[in-house]
């Protein structure tokens, strides 16, 4: 089967880059892209660290199910694209990009504070006008794993792969070059007792703050 969804948000919040927001409020003379913004905030006033921009999103997907002996299989492929109209030049005003990658160029000058000057002083990594990626998922269900020894024991296995191919979205859902996966194995006994083990690694992406982190989860439950 084929499916698709289009959505539009006229006022999507875009978080200003943290490395650009703090300096003008902490230091009255530090070079900062948001100096005019900071100077316009009266004592005791509130500054909102985000702007509102229209964002469009389009998702297209395909799903197929089939039987392989006792195993029921399902596969899903999905492509998602996001478009944000009217974003300013990132050399003037920019959004996103975790501050662990340092502050980008300010008025043509870059004060290197990280171990990777080329990455820090680039205008890449900030929210872009366009961004897209794809997702793949495979599910397998075996209703009777050990019908002789443990009747009523069912097993579900799933594998999800995600790749953010190009661009950075203002809602942080797409981060160019980032790849993630989730492999899970779930056992159910007599539709009452549950046990699930999952592993979710993340890698890739020049501006992916969790590129070196994996998550392992173990869950157990009982239905009443």
Give the pLDDT of residue 48: 96
pLDDT of 130 > 90? The answer is: yes
Could you tell me where the beta strands, DSSP code E, fall in 50-173?
Answer: 50-68, 71-84, 130-142, 153-166
Range of the domain at 86: 2-222
Measured CA to CA, the distance from residue 141 to residue 159 in angstroms comes to 12
68: Cβ–Cβ under 8 A, 6 or more apart, which residues?
A: none
Confidence label for 194 from pLDDT (cuts 50, 70 and 90): very high
pLDDT at residue 146 greater than cutoff 90? no
Query: 32-70: buried (b, 16+ CB within 10 Å) or exposed (e) per residue?
Result: bbbbebbeeeeeeeeeebebebebbbeeebeeeeeeeee
Q: What does the angle CA 55 – CA 56 – CA 57 come to, to the nearest 5 degrees? A: 125
- Cα 223 to chain center, whole Å? 32
- What's the sign of the alpha-carbon dihedral 80, 11, 99, 37? positive
Confidence class of residue 101 from pLDDT cuts 50, 70 and 90? very high
Question: Average pLDDT, stretch 92-112?
Answer: 95
Paired with 73 in beta bridges are 66, 140
The predicted model scores a pTM of 0.90
Helices (H), the chain: 18-26, 35-39, 117-120
Q: Measured between alpha carbons, how far is residue 180 from residues 7, 31, 115, 155, 161 in Å?
A: 24, 37, 25, 23, 6
Q: How many structural domains are present in the chain?
A: 1
**Each residue's pLDDT tens digit, 54-88:** 999 999 999 999 998 889 999 999 999 999 999 99
pLDDT of residue 148: 73
pLDDT tens across 13-32, in order? Answer: 999 999 999 999 999 888 99
**Average pLDDT of the residues of the chain:** 95
């Amino acid at each position: 089967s084929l499916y698709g969804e289009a959505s539009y948000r006229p006022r999507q919040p875009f978080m200003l880059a943290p490395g650009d927001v703090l300096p003008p409020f902490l230091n009255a003379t530090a070079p900062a892209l948001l100096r005019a913004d900071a100077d316009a905030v009266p004592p005791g006033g509130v500054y909102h660290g985000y702007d509102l921009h229209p964002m469009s999103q389009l998702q297209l997907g395909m799903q197929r199910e089939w039987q392989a002996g006792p195993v029921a299989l399902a596969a899903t492929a999905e492509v998602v694209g996001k478009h944000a109209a009217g974003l300013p030049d990132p050399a003037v005003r920019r959004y996103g990009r975790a501050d662990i990658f340092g502050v980008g160029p300010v008025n043509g000058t870059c004060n290197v504070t990280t171990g990777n000057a080329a990455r820090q002083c680039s205008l890449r990594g900030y929210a872009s006008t366009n961004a897209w990626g794809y997702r793949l998922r495979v599910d397998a269900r075996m209703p009777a794993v050990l019908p002789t020894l443990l009747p009523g024991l069912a097993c579900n296995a799933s594998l999800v792969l995600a790749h953010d191919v190009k661009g950075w979205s203002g809602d942080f859902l797409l981060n160019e070059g980032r790849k993630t996966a989730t492999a899970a194995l779930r056992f159910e006994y007599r539709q009452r007792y549950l046990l699930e083990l999952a592993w979710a690694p993340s890698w890739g992406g020049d501006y992916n703050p969790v590129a070196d982190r994996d998550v392992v989860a173990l869950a157990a439950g009982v239905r009443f």
